[in-house]
């Protein structure tokens, strides 16, 4: 069964089942019109420009078209305070069920039947990553970027007056 | 001190009492002054009240720091964040300095370089040469910042050597090597503000400053593992993970945690086929940057007692390894042999059942003619539909949203101890309690929740007394005036004899207060689930019908169900267990089918708010184990049941047809006000009655049993909790 | 009204999907607020799942015995039309 490819709606088949596949309400506002689209974009297709797809000449095995790819911004390592890695976008393959990894009997290394398990492509922006996935003909899922809301911080907050009973004695 | 995080930042010049609450939908985000300053020649606009370090980061010049952390109070003692500000006689600690309008800041001048080199030199002068044996190597702030900002040569020629500090024993989770401590006090601030155990502190001053408990004491917090992330050097490291792996060997996979119902975002680090550790992922809507200890350390249970091949129980009651076709054929034979039809075919879903499998299993069982879909709740409650009903999502979800808890001004906890059931949510309540005038009242077993609360009683009678306004006290007064009151009912109320009465009481109260608790922009009626599969169970309708409740099952399919009471399984029933660990459930089974644990499959998990999140497989499952929904689908083929999907896309389409929110990952679908009110109305009128007995207990005269929260460990064993956790 | 008596025991589950705020689902939401209490009163054991999601077209599914599921589309219908369509669905 052929999986749908090259649509902005990831993992949706072309042959519709008895109900309209992932259809939208007749009065729904498409994300292109709404101001801040916070819901995932699996509902409304955006006009896809014609791309020259690389998969025709890339020589990649056809099994690759059935595997899903995740487009995401890697999360910041919480052990460190440098956050530059989290600004880039990455494409990563899901592990292959049954062909993933096993321990090599000779050296104990991780052998794998999955030739894409080490493939990790980095991009500067989400659009670049999505275009690349479309070009290669991969089904992709876009993970929402990290939700981070850090309020303005102020040293004088350490000394703010609290009425009523003290809830914390600031030691350090 | 950390201000409340809300959907928009707010001005700091506003006094505490007038902290703005979340605005209603019509107005724009909180108005505040924005100031403009120049950093390294770039103009940047930041909200007023920001620290200079935040302004520099916004301008694209990140500043090195050790003691500053986004979510903790500002200390300003490491001095690594020094920047040069025009017309200032000294370099300025950017974390402690407020961003002033029109300031001209330089982060790259020779003065700044010298300052950083100097700070680095001082830090390294007393820092032991432990890099080869230190766990933090490869992800150490000190290493990276000394390469980038430090000097290239040392001037340290002390004959006497470096300072030595004794190691403190903080418990089985946190390993300490206090020689490496740079006294940034991040751990102290975390323990004080976030974890709520105000035990860590500094002793001595100057060169003799030591971080510790002062008395020999364990760190009694279920968030204690987070200090390991916070510590910029290897002073506090993870004891279970000590000396196991280096960070560059690890493959990171972003996934979702399933050991409680918060759905904390995690990053699973694996090497080869083994999960080496679990780290948190930042998500301010769910878990901020923290994860509980159980989430962090339960991964080693993934290596033990795993089901790796299908097992069939032989005539001598011992399991025999079988192949997949044999095992599935044995199940089909067993089903025929028992002659189970209709509601005698039962499925019990456990704590870690993922949504795809629930959907496929429900379809299979329904097509076999049965509605007997139970869950492994305590006692008999798993075999009946839950008292709060599953019709309306707002009846069993955390409607205020986890982030919305911060904007509540009075919280009533009913039969729940959030510290044990959802530790990270508890830290959010504590954050709100510290920084606003939130008051908390609790009806239930008294426990230490890390914030002060007024204990109103232990049973339904006490709740009734409070709701009818007969209780006097500070909490009652503040509750009556609260603009955003929040009621948090524990999920153990659905497993309590008085659960129906309590839900009815609360629904009547909410309706009687009109717009105060449930309105357009605020729904303060919440149920805190504690089991990861429950929200998905209820969302997909995986509950038994009343007719099914009274049927004796002949064929039972246990899906990860390990909390079933063995006495409730008839002796002649044919039991199939599908799961990943050979625990109690597998011991009861006639056929065991090995499935995948949460780190081995890419499946959907719904958290207590109803937020659907997609986990990701990090490692392959062991042995012959397969993905859970595929097992059920294969079983359906063998049993001759036609399911209309064959691949993951089909299953996800089916999930979309059941409830579109299941496939809207990372988004949150609320319930509209009218439907929420309809749901509460049905709670009031007791539509979800299970049997005559519980209906009779609605009368207040019988509501005397105390609400006991469903924790596995006693309160005394707080620090020991993570050791016994496994999948 | 045909909702004032119990449905046939062959009906095992009703599932209503609609949008929380869209105008196309307004009829369905109205139907829910007006008829849901009555339905539950006469069929206390029947799961009537109401699952809302923004932007989703309004539909109602009915599951009968042996897992047979039927559905009708309710997008853009008024409350009365919704009612009649649901009645035909449940009767089929």
- A13, B178, B248, C27 from B245: Cα distances, Å: 42, 21, 9, 59
CB atoms B141 and A75 under 8 Å: no
Of A42, A82, A146, the CB nearest to B283: A146
Interval B175-189 mean pLDDT: 95
Cβ-based contacts of B684 with chain C (< 8 Å): none
The closest alpha carbon to B562, from B366, B372, B378, B355, belongs to B378
Least confident of B193-202, B449-458, B715-724: B715-724
Q: Average pLDDT in the B597-610 region?
A: 94
Which element (helix H / strand E) includes C7?
none
Q: What is the dihedral of CA A22, A27, A31, A33, to 10 degrees?
A: 160
What average pLDDT does chain B have?
Answer: 87
- What is the least distance, in Å, from the CA of B634 to any CA of chain C? 18
Question: Looking at the predicted structure, is the pLDDT value of residue B292 above 70?
Answer: yes
- Any domain includes A119: yes
Identify the band that residue B382 occupies on the pLDDT scale cut at 50, 70 and 90.
confident
Q: How far apart are CA B487 and CA B524, in angstroms?
A: 6
Q: Do A25 and C71 touch (CB under 8 A)?
A: no
Q: Following DSSP, what letter does each residue of A78-95 receive, concatenated? A: TTS---GGGGSEEEEEPP
Q: Does B75 touch chain A (CB under 8 A)?
A: yes
Q: How many other CB atoms sit within 10 Å of the CB of residue B113?
A: 13
**Total tally of structural domains belonging to chain A:** 1
Across the interface, whether the CB atoms of A157 and B666 are under 8 A apart is answered: no
Question: In C, which residues are within 8 Å of B385 by CB distance?
Answer: 47
A119 touches chain C (CB under 8 A): no
Using a CB-CB cut-off of 8 Å, the residues of chain A touching C25 are 25
**Residues of chain A neighbouring C19 (CB-CB closer than 8 A):** 25, 28
- Cβ pair C22:A20 closer than 8 A: no
Q: How far is A4 from chain B (nearest CA, A)?
A: 10
The pLDDT tens digits for B14-29 are: 333 333 333 333 334 4
Chain B residue at shortest CA distance from A147:
B283
Question: What pLDDT is stored for residue B564 in this prediction?
Answer: 87
Residue of B nearest to C64 (CA): B366
Cβ–Cβ of B232/A74 closer than 8 Å?
A: no
Residues B247-255, mean pLDDT to the nearest whole number:
94
Pull the structure tokens for residue B16: 């505490």
Could you tell me which residue, C41 or B45, shows the higher pLDDT? B45
| Sheet with B92-93, edge to edge strand ranges | B42-47, B34-39, B104-106, B82-85, B92-93
Q: What CA–CA distance (Å, rounded) separates B573 from B346? A: 10
Q: Which domain holds residue A53?
A: 2-146
Q: What percent of chain C is helix, strand and coil (3-state, nearest 5)?
A: 40, 25, 40
How do the pLDDT tens digits run along chain A, 172 residues long?
Answer: 334 344 334 443 433 334 445 666 666 555 444 444 445 556 666 666 666 677 778 888 888 887 889 999 999 999 999 888 889 999 999 888 777 678 889 988 888 888 888 889 999 999 999 999 988 888 899 998 888 899 999 999 888 888 888 888 876 6
Rounded CA-CA distance B344/B553 in Å is: 4
Position with higher pLDDT, B605 vs B8:
B605
Residue B719 has pLDDT above 70, yes or no: no
Q: What is the CATH number of domain B408-528?
A: 3.40.228.10
- Min CA distance, B330 vs chain A (Å)? 23
Joined tokens for residue B356: 């795809």
Domain B328-389+534-663: state its class.
alpha beta
CATH architecture of B6-125: Roll (3.10)
Is residue C38 within 8 A of residue C72, CB to CB? The reply is no
**What are φ and ψ of residue B149, in 5° steps?**
-115, -5
Name every residue whose Cβ is closer than 8 Å to that of residue A158 and which is 6 or more positions away in sequence.
A170, B1, B73, B74
Residue A57 sits in a domain of what CATH number?
3.30.160.190
User: Is C57 near chain A, with CB under 8 Å?
Assistant: yes
Q: Is residue B262 within 8 Å of B172, Cβ to Cβ? A: no
How many CA atoms lie within 13 Å of A152's alpha carbon, on the beta-carbon side?
A: 26
Is residue A156 domain-resident?
no
Over the range B667-676, which residues count as b (16 or more CB within 10 Å of their CB) and which as e? Answer: bbbbbbbebb
**B630 to each of B158, B627, B706, how far by Cα in Å?**
66, 5, 43
Verify whether the Cβ–Cβ distance C19 to A28 is below 8 Å.
yes
- Shortest distance, CA C52 to any CA of chain A (angstroms): 12
pLDDT of residue A27: 62
Q: Which pLDDT does position A4 carry in this prediction?
A: 38
What's the average model confidence in pLDDT over B284-288? 93
Spatial distance between the Cα atoms of B544 and B370, rounded to a whole number of angstroms: 9
Question: Does this complex have an ipTM over 0.85?
Answer: yes
pLDDT for B388:
86
Rounded to an integer, the average pLDDT of B310-321 is 93
- Each domain of chain B, given as residue ranges in start order, spans 6-125, 131-238, 328-389+534-663, 408-528
For residue A36, the model assigns a pLDDT of: 41
> CB distance from A19 to chain C under 8 Å?
yes
User: CA of C18: which chain A residue's CA is closest?
Assistant: A25
Q: Does B143 touch chain A (CB under 8 A)?
A: no
Would you state the CATH architecture of domain B131-238?
2-Layer Sandwich (3.30)
Average pLDDT for B185-210 = 92
| pLDDT tier, C2 (very low <50, low <70, confident <90, very high otherwise) | low
Residues from chain C that touch B679, judged by Cβ atoms under 8 A, are 50
């Amino acid at each position: 069964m052929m999986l749908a490819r090259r649509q902005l709606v990831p993992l949706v088949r072309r042959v519709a089942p008895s109900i309209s596949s992932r259809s939208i309400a007749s009065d729904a506002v498409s994300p292109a019109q709404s101001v801040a689209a916070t819901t995932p974009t699996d509902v409304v297709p955006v006009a896809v420009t014609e791309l020259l797809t690389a998969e025709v000449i890339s020589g990649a095995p056809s099994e690759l078209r059935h595997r899903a790819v995740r487009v995401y911004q890697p999360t910041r390592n919480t052990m460190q305070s440098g956050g530059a890695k989290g600004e880039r976008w990455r494409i990563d393959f899901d592990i292959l069920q049954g062909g993933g990894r096993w321990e090599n009997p000779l050296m104990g290394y991780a052998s794998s039947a999955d030739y894409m398990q080490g493939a990790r492509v980095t991009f500067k922006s989400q659009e670049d990553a999505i275009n690349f996935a479309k070009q290669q003909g991969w089904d992709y899922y876009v993970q929402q970027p990290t939700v981070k809301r850090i309020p303005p911080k102020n040293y004088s907050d350490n000394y703010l007056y609290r009425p009523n009973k003290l809830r914390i004695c600031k030691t350090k | 001190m950390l201000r409340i995080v809300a959907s928009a930042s707010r001005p700091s010049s506003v006094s505490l009492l007038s902290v703005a609450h979340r605005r209603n939908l019509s107005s724009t985000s909180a108005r505040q002054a924005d100031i403009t300053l120049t950093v390294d020649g770039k103009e940047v606009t930041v909200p007023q009240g920001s620290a200079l370090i935040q302004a520099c980061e916004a301008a694209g010049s990140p500043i090195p720091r050790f003691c500053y952390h986004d979510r903790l109070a500002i200390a300003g003692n490491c001095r690594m964040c020094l920047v040069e500000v025009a017309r200032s006689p000294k370099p300025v600690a950017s974390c402690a300095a407020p961003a002033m309008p029109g300031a001209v800041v330089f982060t790259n001048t020779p003065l700044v370089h010298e300052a950083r080199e100097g700070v680095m030199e001082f830090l390294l002068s007393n820092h032991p040469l432990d890099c080869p044996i230190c766990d933090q190597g490869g992800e150490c702030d000190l290493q990276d910042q000394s390469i980038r900002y430090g000097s290239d040569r040392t001037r340290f020629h002390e004959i006497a050597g470096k300072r030595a500090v004794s190691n403190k024993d903080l418990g089985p989770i946190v390993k300490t090597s206090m020689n490496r401590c740079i006294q940034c006090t991040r751990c102290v601030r975390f323990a004080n503000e976030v974890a709520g155990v105000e035990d860590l502190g500094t002793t001595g001053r100057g060169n003799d400053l030591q971080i510790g408990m002062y008395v020999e004491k364990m760190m009694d917090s279920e968030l204690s593992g987070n200090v390991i992330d916070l510590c910029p050097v290897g002073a506090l490291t993870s004891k279970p993970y000590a000396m196991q792996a280096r960070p560059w060997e690890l493959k990171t996979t972003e996934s979702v945690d399933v050991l409680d119902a918060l759905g904390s975002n995690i990053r699973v680090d694996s090497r080869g086929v083994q999960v080496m550790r679990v780290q948190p992922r930042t998500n301010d809507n769910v878990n901020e940057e923290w994860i509980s200890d159980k989430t962090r350390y339960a991964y080693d249970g993934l290596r033990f007692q795993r089901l790796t091949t299908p097992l069939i129980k032989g005539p001598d009651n011992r399991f025999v390894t079988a192949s997949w076709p044999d095992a599935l054929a044995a199940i089909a034979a067993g089903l025929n042999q028992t002659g189970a039809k209709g509601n005698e075919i039962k499925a019990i879903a456990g704590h870690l059942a993922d949504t795809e499998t629930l959907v496929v299993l429900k379809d299979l069982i329904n097509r076999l003619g049965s509605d007997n879909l139970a869950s492994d709740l305590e006692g008999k409650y798993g075999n009946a539909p839950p008292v709060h009903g599953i019709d309306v999502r707002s009846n069993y979800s955390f409607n205020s949203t986890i982030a919305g808890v911060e904007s509540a001004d009075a919280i009533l906890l009913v039969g729940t101890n959030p510290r044990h059931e959802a530790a990270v949510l508890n830290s959010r309540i504590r954050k709100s309690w510290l920084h606003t005038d939130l008051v908390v009242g609790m009806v239930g077993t008294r426990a230490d929740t890390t914030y002060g609360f007024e204990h109103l009683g232990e049973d339904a009678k006490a709740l009734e007394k409070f709701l009818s306004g007969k209780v006097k006290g500070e909490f009652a007064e503040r509750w009556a005036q609260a603009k955003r009151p929040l009621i948090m009912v524990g999920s153990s109320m659905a497993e309590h004899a008085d659960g129906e009465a309590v839900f009815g009481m609360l629904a009547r109260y909410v309706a009687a207060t009109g717009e105060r608790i449930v309105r357009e922009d605020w729904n303060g009626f919440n149920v805190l689930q504690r089991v990861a599969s429950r929200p998905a169970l209820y969302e997909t309708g995986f509950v038994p019908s009343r007719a099914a409740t009274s049927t004796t099952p002949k064929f039972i399919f246990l899906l990860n169900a390990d909390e079933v009471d063995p006495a409730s399984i008839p002796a002649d029933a044919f039991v199939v267990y599908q799961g990943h660990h050979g625990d109690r459930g597998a011991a009861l089974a006639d056929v065991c089918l090995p499935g995948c644990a949460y780190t081995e499959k890419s499946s959907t998990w719904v958290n207590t708010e109803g937020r659907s999140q997609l986990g990701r497989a990090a490692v392959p499952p062991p042995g012959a184990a397969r993905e859970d929904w595929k097992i059920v689908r294969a079983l359906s083929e063998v049993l001759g049941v036609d399911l209309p999907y064959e691949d993951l896309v089909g299953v996800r389409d089916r999930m979309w047809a059941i409830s579109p929110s299941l496939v809207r990952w990372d988004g949150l679908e609320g319930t509209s006000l009218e439907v929420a009110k309809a749901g509460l109305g049905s709670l009031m009128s007791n539509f979800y009655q299970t049997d005559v007995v519980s209906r009779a207990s609605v009368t207040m005269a019988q509501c005397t049993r105390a609400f006991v929260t469903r924790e596995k460990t006693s309160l005394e064993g707080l620090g020991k909790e993570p050791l016994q956790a496994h999948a | 009204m045909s909702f004032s008596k119990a449905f046939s025991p062959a009906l095992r589950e009703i599932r209503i999907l609609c949008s929380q705020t869209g105008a196309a689902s307004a009829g369905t939401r109205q139907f829910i607020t007006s008829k849901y209490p009555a339905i539950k009163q006469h069929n206390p054991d029947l799961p009537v799942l109401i699952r809302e999601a923004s932007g989703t077209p309004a539909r109602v599914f009915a599951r009968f015995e042996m897992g047979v599921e039927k559905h009708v589309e309710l997008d853009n219908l008024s409350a009365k039309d919704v009612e009649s369509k649901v009645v035909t669905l449940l009767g089929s």
